[in-house]
Structure 1
Amino acid sequence: MDTTPYARRTAFETLRRKVPRGDQLRHDEDRIRRELIELRGVAAAKDDLVSLMVHDLRSPLFGQVALLHLVLDELGPEASQVRRDIEEALRISDRVFDSLEDVLRVRFLEEGKLPVHRDPVDLRALITQALETLHGVARRRRVALTKQIEGKEIAWVDRKLVQRSVQNLLSNALRHTAAGGDVLVLARCAAAALDIEVADRGPGVRDDLKQRLFDDFGLLERPQAEAGVGFGLGLRLVKLVAECHGGAVSVRDRPGGGSVFRLRLQARTAS
């Protein structure tokens, strides 16, 4: 290495030119701050627009559901097929309404504006009700649904938020399980924690993608599907519900193929 005075001066001048001066650093800092403010404004405008769209979509959906109920009430006993079709249309409308509500729930949870109401909840009833909302989907897809409850059956949680989270996990499991497969819901409640697991028989999730799917509108690459499969807002809501209960959500491989999604909540239990 050349250590002559000339070489040292040359190295110093080269380094000085590469290191930004104080005024340049301040300029860059101001630019970054302005860009962050602009991005926050864009994000806020997007959230406001989405909320307005949800409210605008709910009104005609309510009207559609009301009309379907009127038609259903006026049908005679001979119109059994029409009755079944209308009942299916009502179930689809319910799922659309739930999806719209999820958009608002996610936003309010992210902003800390959705209160969490903890009450003693019968876990067996909660899981059963969540399964009942998706029995029709499972039957059409020819997927078996089973449940298993272990430990305490009463936990202090927000029933509506937790039940909606279980429904989202079940919907995700049914979407990725092929005909002839099975989906298992396991609730395990101990002294201070509640674990709810939903196991599917889908293609599984790569290790490097197992956290991204809980992000807002996360995309996953699946080997036997399109380039990207959207998991959307449903799993994002599950993560937020877990966090507002002092818990977390995770996914692991299921023995024999598929994935196991676990919702862990800090939940005081009762006998």
Structure 2
Amino acid sequence: MIPFADLLWVAWYAAVAAAVVAVVGLVLLHALRGRSMAVQLAVVGVATVLATVSGIVVITLMMYLDAHDRSVALAVVIAAGTVAMGVSVLLGRRLVAANRMLVDAVRADPYRPPEGRLPAELAELARELDAAYGRLAAAHEREQALEASRRELVAWVSHDLRTPLAGMRAMAEALEDEVVSDPETVRAYHGRIRQEIDRLTGMVDDLFELSRIHAGALRLYRRRVGLDDLVAEAVEGTEPLARAKGVQLNGRAREGLPLEVDAAELGRALRNLVVNAIRHTPSDGTVEVVGGVEDGMACVTVSDACGGIPEDDLPRVFDVAFRGETARTPGGGGAGLGLAIARGIVEAHAGKIGVTNAETGCRFMIRLPLAP
């Protein structure tokens, strides 16, 4: 039996020999860190075999084995090391092939997940890449839709600005050239010019509001208000328009429902919906504004008697500059921003807005979180 002290010396010299080989291997790995993974695995395999061989050599020398026993031990170690190196090379080739498969998938246009079986880490990377490409595709689609809506908005605004400007120019030239001189006609022209200026001012305000919403610069000054107060103010502010058109406007809301909102901005969104409903309801129709609670959230519905919206147009009602066949935006020839602004304001309050067809018309719905 070998004395314990001799075993310690054997272990010490074997560890020193293996450490020397390991240091050399680490230096090689550092130098080859930019090379293929198969090359690095081959270096690891060679270093492992050499470390084992050096340990066996130290042991055989210290134990004074004869040449035959030393040759047998070295042959066994070298054979095992050769197999280990072969396995390392095969593993490296497999990793390289899997990596090449992943690179080809990334370079493909459009990206397609690799069809072959990948190691767990590369498979996870492929799934993450698939999800990232999905997010990029969705963002690209949103960008294209936004760009299309912007082009459409520019076209609508150009048209809607040109018409009142041409009218005001004609009336101003008539007044300047004294083509009209009787006081009544002059007063009527002045009134028309003032109306067109007010209309253009409203369009500019809407454009500014929408630009703030799209830029994320809409600042909300929240305070606690009651849902019934918001509904009452919206009905009161649009009552003259309903009366002038002969539309019956009814509003009611459950009392005691607190909201933490910007009353001015949210009131504007609600008025846009009510004005939109009044403008598209016949003179003998009714517009209902109802506030309550549904599924733990404050809910305001604006129902009109417009006859409904084509099902294909419902998803686009709140898009910028969308008008559809019946110009479903407040302003009667405006830039088509009222409903888009309403959606932006509601979503800025962490709420949701939608529209569905009802029996006699449409039902617009706003959902908002209740204040604690």
Shift of 1:98: 4.3
Look up the match of 1:5.
none
How far apart are the structure 1 equivalents of 2:271 and 2:214? 20
Look up the match of 1:243.
347
Q: Is the 8 A contact 1:120 1:157 kept in 2?
A: yes
How far apart are the structure 2 equivalents of 1:139 and 1:89? 24
Q: Is residue 2:233 matched to residue 1:129?
A: yes
Q: Is residue 2:295 matched to residue 1:181?
A: no
Secondary structure of the residue aligned to 2:301 is strand
Unaligned runs of 5+ in 1: 1-21, 29-35, 58-85
Matching residue within 201, 207, 232 for 1:103: 207
Q: How does 1:200-239 map to 2 (within 5 A)?
A: 200-221=304-325, 229=327, 231=329, 232-239=336-343
How far apart are the structure 1 equivalents of 2:212 and 2:302? 25
How far apart are the structure 2 equivalents of 1:211 and 1:108? 23
Shift of 1:95: 6.5
Matching residue within 249, 252, 274 for 1:170: 274
Secondary structure of the residue aligned to 1:133 is helix
Specify which structure has the higher proportion of helix.
Answer: 2
Q: 1:213 to 1:149 in 2, by over 3 A?
A: same
Secondary structure of the residue aligned to 2:235 is helix
Give the total of aligned pairs: 207
Q: Is the 8 A contact 1:151 1:189 kept in 2?
A: no
Q: Is the 8 A contact 2:280 2:328 kept in 1?
A: no
Q: 1:200 to 1:261 in 2, by over 3 A?
A: same
Q: 1:115 to 1:142 in 2, by over 3 A?
A: same
Query: Rg larger in 1 or in 2?
Result: 2
C-alpha offsets along residues 87-145 of structure 1, whole Å, 9 cap, x if unaligned? 99989876654443222121111111111222111333322222222222111110011
Q: Is the 8 A contact 2:247 2:282 kept in 1?
A: yes
TM score, norm. by length of structure 2: 0.46
How far apart are the structure 2 equivalents of 1:90 and 1:128? 30
Q: Is residue 2:367 matched to residue 1:264?
A: yes
Look up the match of 2:243.
139
Q: Is the 8 A contact 2:257 2:298 kept in 1?
A: no
Q: CA RMSD in A?
A: 4.2
Q: 1:151 to 1:88 in 2, by over 3 A?
A: farther
C-alpha offsets along residues 230-250 of structure 1, whole Å, 9 cap, x if unaligned? 531111111111211112111
How far apart are the structure 1 equivalents of 2:255 and 2:302? 17
Shift of 1:160: 1.1
Q: Is residue 2:356 matched to residue 1:252?
A: yes
TM score, norm. by length of structure 1: 0.61
Q: Is the 8 A contact 1:157 1:267 kept in 2?
A: no
Q: Is the 8 A contact 2:250 2:289 kept in 1?
A: yes
Secondary structure of the residue aligned to 2:337 is helix
How far apart are the structure 2 equivalents of 1:92 and 1:124? 34
Percentage identity across paired residues of the two chains: 26
How far apart are the structure 2 equivalents of 1:215 and 1:258? 20
C-alpha offsets along residues 9-36 of structure 1, whole Å, 9 cap, x if unaligned? xxxxxxxxxxxxx9xx8999xxxxxxx9
Q: What one-letter code is carried by the residue in structure 2 that aligns with 1:259? A: C
C-alpha offsets along residues 129-178 of structure 1, whole Å, 9 cap, x if unaligned? 22222222111110011101025333111111110011100111011100
Q: Is the 8 A contact 2:351 2:367 kept in 1?
A: yes
How far apart are the structure 2 equivalents of 1:240 and 1:175? 21
C-alpha offsets along residues 33-53 of structure 1, whole Å, 9 cap, x if unaligned? xxx9xx99xx6xx79xx8xx9
Q: What one-letter code is carried by the residue in structure 1 that aligns with 2:218? A: L
Q: Is the 8 A contact 2:228 2:254 kept in 1?
A: no
Q: Which has the higher contact order (CA 8 A, sep 6+)?
A: 1
Q: 1:140 to 1:113 in 2, by over 3 A?
A: same
Q: What one-letter code is carried by the residue in structure 1 that aligns with 2:368? A: L
Look up the match of 2:254.
150
Q: 1:161 to 1:87 in 2, by over 3 A?
A: farther
